[in-house]
Amino acid sequence: MPTTRRRTTGPAGHAYRALGDPRARPNLRWLRELSGADPGAIASVLSELDGFAAVEAEIRRRHREGGRAHYAQFRAPFEAYALVRLLRPDHVVETGVSSGVSSAHFLLALRQNGGGTLHSVDRPLPQRGAKFRPNESPVALPPGRETGWAVPEELRRGWDLRIGASEEVLPELVRELPSIGIFLHDSRHTPRHLTFELETVHPRLAVPAVVLADNTVWTGQAFPRFARALGWPVRRRGRSDLVGLLRSL
């Protein structure tokens, strides 16, 4: 009996399979809520990702070589790509890089846009030994790796990667920028730290701008409180604790 090959369906299907993360299938509703774009425009930018399946496979290969075949990485890389393509920001800021899954997709989209800069802030956490232990943080750097170790070399040109504590680096970075079109918090997940980062970037948020925060199960009401004070609705990615908001006015 002939073997039936499983078909890849949906936008970015080939890229999704190449990356190999079952959580990475794009959430179209969340993208519509955060971008304000129509479904046709969203489908168009997501379809571009199938042309970069080799990049996704390279990211997956680097994770395997680093001992992270089932890495707890950023779960919405394709939405990150699409938001940059749809909003076309001059400056994207993220805190927390680890292997660089979100970074790679921000960089890829900026390259497609033909301009714009990714500014990343990271305080590396080295792995304690030669082998990854079950009780270690999944964001720990494998031996011999540096921040962003899964980002393909071809995407690194023009990347503003700053190493240090967010409390020290982020305020200085924000003062240098005229605007921030997309901000992603994925660093230390405490209510106090998230509030600090949101309040730091708020004065530079462009119109429109998207603000994202991952792992909000650990940060309590910090993100909803920030959004409520400004009158911006919080948009949750499905049932996950990855949330965002759109500043449209």
Q: Cα dihedral sign for 63, 69, 73, 76?
A: positive
Average pLDDT, the chain: 93
The percent of residues in the chain predicted with pLDDT above 70, rounded, is 95
* Domains present along the chain, CATH in parentheses: 13-126+139-247 (3.40.50.150)
pLDDT tens per residue across span 111-140: 999 999 999 999 999 998 888 888 888 888
pLDDT tens per residue across span 39-65: 999 999 999 999 999 999 999 999 999
Q: Cα dihedral sign for 41, 240, 16, 209?
A: positive
CA distance 42 to 48: 10
The percent of residues in the chain predicted with pLDDT above 90, rounded, is 83
The model carries a pTM of: 0.94
pLDDT tens per residue across span 64-83: 999 887 665 799 999 999 99
End-to-end CA distance of the chain: 59
Per DSSP, the three-state class of 213 is: strand
Structure tokens at 5: 């090959």
Residues 6 or more apart in contact with residue 186 via CB below 8 angstroms: 74, 94, 95, 96, 97, 98, 102, 213, 214, 215
Helix (H) or strand (E) holding 92: strand 91-95
